[in-house]
C-alpha cells in the first residue's frame, strides 16, 4: 500500500473542475458584494420622491411644534409657580421670545 496509497492521496488533493466550481459557488454565496447584496445596498441610497420629502418635512414640523408647545407650557408653569413674568423665565433659561 506504500507508494500506491500516496499516489491515490495526491490524486484526491488535485483540484478538479467540480471542486473548483464548488469553491467558486461558495465564495459567491458568502461574498458581501454579490449582485443581490449590491442591489439592496443601492436601494438604501436612493433619493426619496418629492412627495415623500414633503411628508417627512411636515411630520418633522409637527414633531417640532409639539415639543416647542410642551417646552413653552413648562416655562409658563415655572413662571406661574415663581410668581414672575414669562419673559423673565425665558431670559433665565436663555430662550429668545422668537425661539
Q: Is 18 exposed, middle or buried (0-12, 13-18, 19+ CB in 10 A)?
A: exposed
Based on the fold, state whether residues 61 and 28 are members of the same structural domain: no
pLDDT of residue 46: 81
In a shared domain, residues 15 and 40: yes
Domain count, the chain: 2
pLDDT of residue 24: 66
Look up the domain containing 84 and give its range: 48-99
My answer on whether 79 and 91 are in the same domain is yes
Shared domain check, 25 and 12? yes
- Do 62 and 34 fall within a single domain? no
59 and 87 assigned to the same domain: yes
C-alpha cell at 28: 459567491
Res 8: pLDDT: 54
Q: What is the pLDDT along the chain (99 residues), one digit of tens a residue?
A: 555 555 555 555 555 666 666 676 666 666 767 788 777 777 777 888 999 999 999 999 999 999 999 999 999 999 999 999 999 999 999 998 777
> Do 1 and 12 belong to one domain?
yes
Residue 85 burial (10 A CB sphere; 0-12, 13-18, 19+) = exposed
Output the pTM of the full model. 0.50
Radius of gyration over every alpha carbon of the chain, rounded to an integer in angstroms: 34
Amino acid at each position: 500500500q506504500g507508494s500506491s496509497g500516496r499516489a491515490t492521496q495526491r490524486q484526491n488533493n488535485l483540484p478538479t473542475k467540480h471542486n473548483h466550481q464548488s469553491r467558486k459557488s461558495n465564495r459567491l454565496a458568502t461574498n458581501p458584494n454579490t449582485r443581490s447584496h449590491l442591489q439592496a445596498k443601492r436601494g438604501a441610497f436612493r433619493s426619496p420622491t418629492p412627495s415623500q420629502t414633503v411628508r417627512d418635512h411636515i411630520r418633522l414640523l409637527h414633531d417640532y411644534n409639539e415639543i416647542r408647545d410642551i417646552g413653552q407650557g413648562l416655562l409658563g408653569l415655572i413662571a406661574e409657580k415663581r410668581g414672575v413674568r414669562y419673559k423673565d423665565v425665558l431670559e433665565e433659561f436663555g430662550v429668545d421670545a422668537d425661539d
